[in-house]
Every structure is written in C-alpha cells, then in structure tokens.
Amino acid sequence: MQEQRRSKRIHVNMEGEIISDDRVVAGTIENISENGIYVEIASEDPLSQTSRFTPGMELKVHFHSSSEEMLKLHCKVIWSYKAEPQGLTEKIGMEVIFPPPGFIELYNRLQ
C-alpha cells in the first residue's frame, strides 16, 4: 500500500535546535516538506519508553538554511517516538505553522 502525502519530502541533513519553553535541544533535520519537518534528537532518558514531545505540543525550531539564513519555525508535534536500538534517539514529525517565506523558498529551491 502506497503512503499518501500532501507534499513531497526532501531529504536534508541540517543541524538545528528545538526550543520548548526554556529548554533547547540540538537535533538534525532529516527531511522537509512544504508544511512539515522531520527531526531526530538524542534521547535524554534512553530507559524511558516514551518521547518527551507529545502530539499537539507547540515549539520552535531554529536552523540555518543552505544559504546560511537563520530560519525560525513555529511548529506543532504531529507524532514522535523513541527509536531502536535502546531508545537512544527520538524521532519527531512536525507541522510548520504558517511557514515563513525563507522556509518556502528553501523547499522550492531543493525540489
């Protein structure tokens, strides 16, 4: 069964930061779409079975685009889970709320 997506995913490898309240967590943006991003981060607690990012949670993601422009995204967590082996990483899929022009330009440039 083929997965239905609203827009094409573009594989990237960009370092960024997830900002939630007063916490800042480093992560790697693995892919972007017209209205979303997929990020991997190191797990703070590999023994816990649950991700610290829950669906519906709003947060900010900051990263430098390939043109070195700092992009600041307002995002909402759609899904997240701990990855094997041993839950050392967390994978997070997020919707970008009102994507800024720089993000849309990056997406269009990489297609």
Residue 103's CB: how many other CB atoms inside 10 A? 22
d(CA 8, CA 33): 6
DSSP for residue 2: P
Q: What is the pTM of this model?
A: 0.85
DSSP secondary structure, 12-41, as one string? EEEEEEEEETTEEEEEEEEEEETTEEEEEE
Domain boundaries along the sequence of the chain:
10-102
- Regarding the domain delimited by 10-102, which CATH topology (the fold level of the hierarchy) does it fall under? Thrombin, subunit H (2.40.10)
Q: Which two tokens stand for residue 97?
A: 């709320």
The predicted-structure confidence for 17-46, as pLDDT tens digits, reads as follows 999 887 899 999 999 999 999 999 987 765
Look at residue 1 in the predicted model and tell me its pLDDT.
41
The predicted-structure confidence for 50-64, as pLDDT tens digits, reads as follows 677 899 999 999 998
